[in-house]
Structure 1
C-alpha cells in the first residue's frame, strides 16, 4: 500500500486535482492525505475530481474561514475504514488492508501555526495512540522542524523543536530517509526553506516495511512538496535492453549510444527522463544492427 501527502494551499483549482490524480496513478497510491483545502464545505463533486474512476471513500475537516481544511481519500477496494477520530488539525483513520489482518492507523496532519496549539496537538495524539492500537503512520504538514539544518535562511525555534522531538520519542515514532527534495516548503518570496512536511511511523510499521521509500517531489502546484511513501514494489516492466561486453568493441557503438542519450524528454521527473533515454538508446542500437 502506497501513501501520498500534500499541503495543497487551496483545493479549488482544477489543475491541482489533475496533478493529484496524476500522482495517484504514477505512484499507485491507495491513500492520499491533503492539507489546507481552504474550503468550509468541500463538496463531493470537488472531492471526486481528486480521484480516478475507481471506488473511493473519504473523510474531511472543513476549514475555519479560508484557513486549514483536511481531506483524506483512499481506495475503498484496498483499505477498509473501521474507526475515525478528527479535529481541526488531524484526521485519524483506522482500518485494515484488504486481505491482511493488520490494523493500520493513518493520521493526516496539519500543524497549527500557533506553537501552543501544536503542543496541545502533540499531547492529544499521544493520548489517542495509547487507546488505538495498530501500525501507526502520520503524514502531512507538521509546521515544525526537528533540527537547525531543517531550516535555511529562517529562524530555528529550539523550544518548538524540543517539544516536537519529545513527542516523537515518547510516541516511539521513526522516520524513513527522505529522497528528492531536502526542504519541503519554500516561502512566497523564494528566500526561506524548511522541512515542514514529513512522515512518521511506529516501530511495528517500520518492521513490517523496512525497505519502504520516502520521496519529496518538486513543488509544482503548491509551495509545499508532495510526499510519496512507497511500501510496495512498483513494476517498471522489462529491462529496456540487455548489454553485452562484446558490443563495446563494435565500430560506431559509442556514437550510437551517445545519440540515444542526447534525445529530448520534456518530463520533470527524472525516472521518466531516464526511461525515455534508455528507450532511445535501444532504438538506435536496433538501427545500427540492421545496417
Structure 2
C-alpha cells in the first residue's frame, strides 16, 4: 500500500489538481492526504480531479476562513474504512487493508501555527491512540521541527521539545527520508525547514521494515510531496558479488576497466550492458583468485 501527502496551499487551479493526479498514478497511491485546501466547502467535482480514473472515497474538513482545510482520499478496493474522527487540525480514518488482517489508523495532520494549539493537538492525538487500536501512521504538515538541523536560515525554538515528547510517548518512529533534506521553502526563498513528515508506530515499522519514504521536488506548492511505499521492490539477485573493501585493493580498478572494454556489437543497449557486466564479473573472478 502506497501513501502520499502534500500541503497544497490552496486547492484552486487545474494545474495543482493535474499535478497531484499524476502523482497518484505514477506512484500507484492507495491513500492520499492533502493539507491546506483553503476551501470552506470543497465540491465533489474539484475533489474528483485529484484522483485517477478509479473509484475513491474521501473525508474532508472545511477550512476556517482561508486557513487550513483537510482532504483524505483512498482506494476502497485497497482500504475499507471503519470509522473517522476529525477536527480543524486532523482527520483520523481507521480501516482495514483488503486481503490482509491489518487494521490501519491513518491521520492527516495540519499543525496550527500557534504553539498552544499544537500542544493541545498532541494531547488529543495521544488520547486517540490509546483508545483506537491499529497500526498508526501520521502524515502531513506538522508545522514543527525536531532537531536543529531541520531548519536552515531560521530560528530553532523550544517547541520541538513538546513535539519530541509527543513522539516518544506515542511510540512513533520515522523512516529515513530520501529525495529532499528540507520539505518547505518560504515564500521569499530564504528559509528552509523539514516540517512535513511521516510518523509510524512500532507495529507499523515492524510489519513494513523495508518501506521507503521519498520527498519529491516542490513543483505543486512550497511544500514537498511525501511518498511512503510499503511495497518491497525486489530486483532479484545482484549480478555478482562485490565488497566495498575491494575498492582499495591493488588491481581492482584495472579488472573493472578490462571488463568495461569488452566489445559488444549488439544494437540493443541493454544487451551491451549485460555483456559488460558479465565481463566485469569474469575479470573480478580472475583477479580474486590471483
Residue 184 of structure 1 pairs with residue 183 of structure 2: yes
Change (3 A) 1:251 1:2: closer
SS in 2 for 1:21: helix
2:207 is matched with 208
Q: 2:262 aligns with which of 233, 238, 249?
A: 249
Q: Deviations over 1:228-280 (max 9, x none)?
A: 0010135889x9xxxxx867322899xx9xxxxxxxxxxxxxxxxxxxxxx8x
Deviant stretches of 4+, over 3 Å: 233-237, 281-285
SS in 2 for 1:4: strand
SS in 2 for 1:63: coil
Tell me how far apart the structure 2 counterparts of residues 35 and 203 of structure 1 sit (CA, whole Å): 25
SS in 2 for 1:94: strand
Q: Deviations over 1:110-144 (max 9, x none)?
A: 00000100000000000000100000000000000
Change (3 A) 1:282 1:45: same
What pairs with 1:37-48 in structure 2 (closer than 5 Å)? 37-48=37-48
Unaligned runs of 5+ in 1: 240-244, 257-278, 286-291
Shift of residue 3, structure 1, vs aligned partner:
0.2
| TM-score (norm. length: structure 1) | 0.83
Tell me how far apart the structure 1 counterparts of residues 32 and 235 of structure 2 sit (CA, whole Å): 22
What pairs with 1:73-222 in structure 2 (closer than 5 Å)? 73-158=73-158, 160-222=159-221
Based on CA coordinates, which of the two structures has the bigger radius of gyration? 2
SS in 2 for 1:130: helix
Shift of residue 222, structure 1, vs aligned partner:
0.3
Q: Contact 2:210/2:232 (CA < 8 Å) preserved in 1?
A: no
1:229 is matched with 228
Shift of residue 21, structure 1, vs aligned partner:
1.1
Unaligned runs of 5+ in 2: 239-257, 274-290
Change (3 A) 1:64 1:248: same
Tell me how far apart the structure 1 counterparts of residues 12 and 75 of structure 2 sit (CA, whole Å): 22
Stretch moving more, 189-198 or 15-24: 15-24
SS in 2 for 1:139: strand
